[in-house]
Chains A and B, each alone.
Chain A
């Protein structure tokens, strides 16, 4: 029987009530007395020299209060890269300054070079249009190959467009080369992991207040990690002391990575609020979101898979160009390296892996982590080349994968790409997938499709990812400039209800429901008396935020640790109340009792006593009942899964329709299966969107051609099927107290290769020997590929 409360229950989300009744409070819903508006002047060219910016006319326009240009921020710090990557030769990556406003040069369409503050947004917009900027257009660097071979540099002072040339693992290179050279068979594939725009439905918004009497700032902003934003602004950009800056991320309308990062607009509104003494708000429109939110993916990869005569994998070797855009965003150097290269052994016992990644500056928007962040790119390369190898060798694609899977008795398993997988059972996932997907019925369904003149393809995929992005010691070795742990405070109030302050941030993930389930289970009390507080640096001890499917695995573990401390102290209080020894106190269903007796006190009585300590032995017990824990795990977590789908392809038009999709994931233990299933659905929607619909296109001059919902194909309801999702095959994570692995990104990681493999299978079934097609698999691409063979 499914549970109806606590861990494992499909508890309905309490946050839904405010969202369903229009009472959410997103950043742009908040208005402050005396508030004024900021609007940015943005470059219309991809590469240009700023000769002059004349703001005289604009400054005299109605309502205009101030105008800022890059000159005003020339002395403050740049927005830094969070990870230092060294090239194969040991030299550090190139880190050009990313200023608050462009200074000297603009480097991508949308790069902000000025900002107007006016009484209203309309007045500010009018004044922006009156700024006379003499920006000399220069040839743009758009294509990565051109960027690496040419002499036109995005950052002249660096003298190259190569940010770094990274090898992983450099010591494995010779052995990998030798394994490929001596192999029975080598399958090679060149592929593009298409560039995507995250497109959280809520555009970014930042609003700053300044109090001159106390020299304190408050920034409301659309962030997945308010403490990280505060740290970046304080330590690197504006130098505002952390104790003088409160960052609040209220309700946030989706992130998918794009709201991890600190953006220049946040610094601008803070500086403007101080200068004017009035609250300053900026809200992006959708075009600005397309032009300036960090994009995702954009890899070009050549991958080779070496096999022996029996189909055993001998080596994977890849060469990748990864676009980082015009400036380094906060995680942009980690995404194509340590979140990508370290996963390049996949679910397999392959002994040799070598990954080479060249990160490339171009005159395009910065590229950073987008749902999956590096792991989708790794999975796509691996699972496409494996599928191609199976076809070349005449092997069943499932059998070939199974033959090379890490087996359940091999954990902990040291992968050839340098990670230690803690747990898993990939064959069990595949077994379940075959059952859930009714693989046995495929042949009949294919016949039915063919009777309609359609081609039916089957695609399969296995993935592993590293998430719960954390262990400070590990990410430190890998180049992270921050620690990655998380924090929680559990406050038991005198009247027996709880406030739990968490460093994770919920922007759709349902933390306000799921985290109380954990605490309620541990304390044996009703979850309805437990509230989560998140998204406000003044209320929460600290936190590294929500990304990399880390909230529950890392912050949830901090919640467990803090709750354990609460239980320990509460037992002491109960022991005092019951005149017993601490060691004899048991907690069960919210009641503390002396073991083997009927003497007991309730959780509520203990809470009250903690705050009314008339007779406390103060030398042994402090008053109050509030505990904080920081949790820094021992390893990443390793969710894995087996996905498959069936597509129907119309050979007359090239149109592909996803008919069935089955996703079987090992997320370890599951706190709220309803929420977990929803996370998988969302990831699948985005992954199928990447595979079939979405593409970010710049022309040769660096103009973004797909800068609105008229041009960028967002998945709509009628593009997607119902999904069959199963997470019954969980193997608990061995190193965190909840045994959880993280579920936020899996769908987006596992689905793109599944779809493309199915499209190839459909074309093959129609007698067309197409062995690869790049995403998005549009009707035009499919139809063209089928004509050309």
Chain B
């Protein structure tokens, strides 16, 4: 067992992990941050996506020990200080960008990473960036729309409701 210390959503935490404990397991099982979801075994689905030192990382691809000393951000830390939804979360609600909610934490964290690098992405850029996040419910229409809206673009011309 190894002791790891990291900052998660601004809070210093530490814990004992095995060498092969994944960051995703550490977050879910040790830290009880179950908003980070496990949807596959092959790092394809993106439901476990978090930020490590400001970069988007699928937390199933990283050992907890590798995150020792890192700043980790998860879905639980995304809301505004007063608990209200942040701009991205609010755009997902406003544009019905989620249904069952299982891929949603990964989608929100991916969006945050995208908009940091590319504040006004085109539709094609959004779709390309979502390559690593699978949603089975929405057909992506409203996710793409929500992301473009979160970036401050006018989405009223995009079809329907």
Interface residues of A (CB under 8 A from B): 10, 12-13, 15-26, 28-29, 31, 199-203, 251-254, 256, 285-287, 507-510, 673-678, 681-686, 688, 708-710, 714-718, 720, 722-726, 747
The residue from A251, A678, A681 contacting B101, defined by CB atoms under 8 A apart: A251
Q: How far is the CB of A274 from chain B (nearest CB, A)?
A: 25
Q: Contact between B96 and A675 (Cβ–Cβ < 8 Å)?
A: yes
Mark out the residues of chain B between 8 and 41 whose CB falls within 8 Å of any chain A CB in the assembled complex: 28-29, 33-41
Assembly CA distance A491 to B35 (angstroms) = 32
Q: Contact between B127 and A253 (Cβ–Cβ < 8 Å)?
A: no
* 21 pairs, CB–CB < 8 Å, chain A vs chain B: A15-B101, A16-B92, A22-B33, A24-B35, A24-B101, A26-B102, A29-B28, A199-B136, A202-B39, A285-B40, A286-B40, A509-B99, A678-B138, A681-B140, A682-B99, A708-B44, A716-B127, A716-B134, A717-B144, A720-B141, A726-B160
Assembly CA distance A683 to B140 (angstroms) = 11
Q: Contact between A22 and B105 (Cβ–Cβ < 8 Å)?
A: yes
The 6 tightest CB contacts between A and B, nearest first, are A22-B35, A685-B139, A19-B101, A253-B102, A508-B100, A709-B44
Contacts of B151 in A (CB 8 A): none
Q: Contact between B38 and A723 (Cβ–Cβ < 8 Å)?
A: no
Q: How far is the CB of B146 from chain A (nearest CB, A)?
A: 10
Q: Contact between B161 and A725 (Cβ–Cβ < 8 Å)?
A: yes
Q: Contact between B102 and A681 (Cβ–Cβ < 8 Å)?
A: no
Assembly CA distance A254 to B104 (angstroms) = 12
Assembly CA distance A306 to B12 (angstroms) = 73
Q: Contact between B102 and A716 (Cβ–Cβ < 8 Å)?
A: no
The residue from B36, B93, B94, B144 contacting A722, defined by CB atoms under 8 A apart: B144
B72 at the interface (CB under 8 A from A): no
Q: Contact between B136 and A22 (Cβ–Cβ < 8 Å)?
A: no
Mark out the residues of chain B between 55 and 108 whose CB falls within 8 Å of any chain A CB in the assembled complex: 74-76, 78-79, 85, 89, 92-94, 96, 98-105, 108
Q: Contact between B44 and A20 (Cβ–Cβ < 8 Å)?
A: no
B49 at the interface (CB under 8 A from A): no
Contacts of A199 in B (CB 8 A): 136
B45 at the interface (CB under 8 A from A): yes
Contact (A710, B42) CB under 8 Å given A17-B85, A21-B76, A22-B76:
yes
Contacts of B99 in A (CB 8 A): 254, 508-510, 678, 682
Q: Contact between A201 and B45 (Cβ–Cβ < 8 Å)?
A: yes
Q: How far is the CB of A534 from chain B (nearest CB, A)?
A: 14
B128 at the interface (CB under 8 A from A): yes
Assembly CA distance A550 to B66 (angstroms) = 48
Contacts of B144 in A (CB 8 A): 717, 722
Which residue of B has the minimal Cβ distance to A748? Answer: B139
Contacts of A507 in B (CB 8 A): 100
Q: Contact between A12 and B100 (Cβ–Cβ < 8 Å)?
A: no
Q: Contact between B89 and A203 (Cβ–Cβ < 8 Å)?
A: no
B158 at the interface (CB under 8 A from A): yes
Q: Contact between B127 and A747 (Cβ–Cβ < 8 Å)?
A: no
Q: Contact between A686 and B136 (Cβ–Cβ < 8 Å)?
A: yes
Contacts of A202 in B (CB 8 A): 37, 39, 100, 102
Contacts of A252 in B (CB 8 A): 100
The residue from B34, B45, B103, B130 contacting A22, defined by CB atoms under 8 A apart: B34
Contacts of B160 in A (CB 8 A): 677, 723-726
Contacts of A685 in B (CB 8 A): 136, 138-141
Q: How far is the CB of B39 from chain A (nearest CB, A)?
A: 5
Contact (A681, B139) CB under 8 Å given A21-B78, A201-B45, A723-B159:
yes
Q: How far is the CB of B56 from chain A (nearest CB, A)?
A: 15
Assembly CA distance A677 to B136 (angstroms) = 15
The residue from A25, A253, A678, A683 contacting B142, defined by CB atoms under 8 A apart: A678
Given contacts A253-B100, A686-B139, A720-B140, 20 further A-B contacts (CB under 8 A): A22-B76, A201-B47, A253-B39, A253-B103, A254-B136, A508-B99, A508-B100, A674-B161, A675-B96, A676-B161, A678-B96, A682-B99, A685-B136, A710-B42, A714-B136, A716-B131, A717-B143, A722-B123, A725-B161, A726-B160
Most chain A CB neighbours (cut-off 10 Å) among B39, B89, B139: B139
B126 at the interface (CB under 8 A from A): yes
Contacts of B142 in A (CB 8 A): 678, 681
Assembly CA distance A29 to B138 (angstroms) = 23
Contacts of A286 in B (CB 8 A): 39-42, 45
Q: Contact between B93 and A16 (Cβ–Cβ < 8 Å)?
A: yes
Contacts of B134 in A (CB 8 A): 201, 709, 714, 716
Which residue of B has the minimal Cβ distance to A687? Answer: B139
Which residue of B has the minimal Cβ distance to A681? Answer: B139
Assembly CA distance A264 to B38 (angstroms) = 22
Contact (A12, B161) CB under 8 Å given A20-B85, A203-B39, A286-B42:
no
Contacts of B28 in A (CB 8 A): 29
Q: Contact between A19 and B141 (Cβ–Cβ < 8 Å)?
A: no
Q: How far is the CB of B17 from chain A (nearest CB, A)?
A: 13
Q: How far is the CB of B53 from chain A (nearest CB, A)?
A: 20
Assembly CA distance A474 to B85 (angstroms) = 47
- Main secondary structure, interface of B, reads loop
Assembly CA distance A626 to B22 (angstroms) = 49
Interface size class of B (residues with CB under 8 A): 35 or more
Contact (A677, B161) CB under 8 Å given A202-B37, A286-B39:
yes
Assembly CA distance A24 to B126 (angstroms) = 26
Q: Contact between B139 and A747 (Cβ–Cβ < 8 Å)?
A: yes
B149 at the interface (CB under 8 A from A): no
Contacts of A717 in B (CB 8 A): 126-128, 130-131, 133, 135, 140, 143-144
Q: How far is the CB of A605 from chain B (nearest CB, A)?
A: 33
Most chain B CB neighbours (cut-off 10 Å) among A509, A686, A720: A720
Assembly CA distance A88 to B141 (angstroms) = 45
Contact (A681, B138) CB under 8 Å given A20-B92, A20-B98:
yes
The residue from A201, A677, A686, A715 contacting B102, defined by CB atoms under 8 A apart: A201
Most chain A CB neighbours (cut-off 10 Å) among B76, B93, B130: B93
Q: Contact between A17 and B105 (Cβ–Cβ < 8 Å)?
A: no
Contacts of A725 in B (CB 8 A): 159-161
Q: Contact between B130 and A10 (Cβ–Cβ < 8 Å)?
A: no
Contact (A683, B139) CB under 8 Å given A253-B100, A716-B130:
yes
The residue from A16, A17, A718 contacting B131, defined by CB atoms under 8 A apart: A718
The residue from B37, B41, B75, B131 contacting A285, defined by CB atoms under 8 A apart: B41
The residue from A200, A203, A720 contacting B139, defined by CB atoms under 8 A apart: A720
The residue from B37, B74, B138 contacting A253, defined by CB atoms under 8 A apart: B37
Mark out the residues of chain B between 104 and 137 whose CB falls within 8 Å of any chain A CB in the assembled complex: 104-105, 108, 123-124, 126-128, 130-131, 133-137
Most chain B CB neighbours (cut-off 10 Å) among A10, A24, A688: A24
Assembly CA distance A287 to B160 (angstroms) = 37
Q: Contact between A708 and B41 (Cβ–Cβ < 8 Å)?
A: yes
Contact (A20, B40) CB under 8 Å given A677-B161, A722-B144:
no
Most chain B CB neighbours (cut-off 10 Å) among A13, A20, A676, A747: A20
Q: How far is the CB of B150 from chain A (nearest CB, A)?
A: 12
Q: Contact between B136 and A201 (Cβ–Cβ < 8 Å)?
A: yes
Contacts of A684 in B (CB 8 A): 139
Which residue of A has the minimal Cβ distance to B95? Answer: A674
Assembly CA distance A684 to B35 (angstroms) = 28
Q: How far is the CB of B123 from chain A (nearest CB, A)?
A: 8
Contacts of B93 in A (CB 8 A): 12-13, 16-17, 20
The residue from A22, A201, A251, A676 contacting B39, defined by CB atoms under 8 A apart: A201
Contact (A718, B136) CB under 8 Å given A16-B98, A251-B101, A681-B142:
no
Assembly CA distance A256 to B75 (angstroms) = 26
Which residue of A has the minimal Cβ distance to B74? Answer: A22
Assembly CA distance A417 to B143 (angstroms) = 40
Contact (A19, B158) CB under 8 Å given A26-B37, A285-B41, A708-B40:
no
Assembly CA distance A778 to B101 (angstroms) = 30
Q: Contact between B135 and A723 (Cβ–Cβ < 8 Å)?
A: no
Contacts of B36 in A (CB 8 A): 22
Assembly CA distance A394 to B93 (angstroms) = 48
Assembly CA distance A673 to B91 (angstroms) = 18
The residue from B40, B101, B123 contacting A16, defined by CB atoms under 8 A apart: B101
Contacts of B104 in A (CB 8 A): 19-20
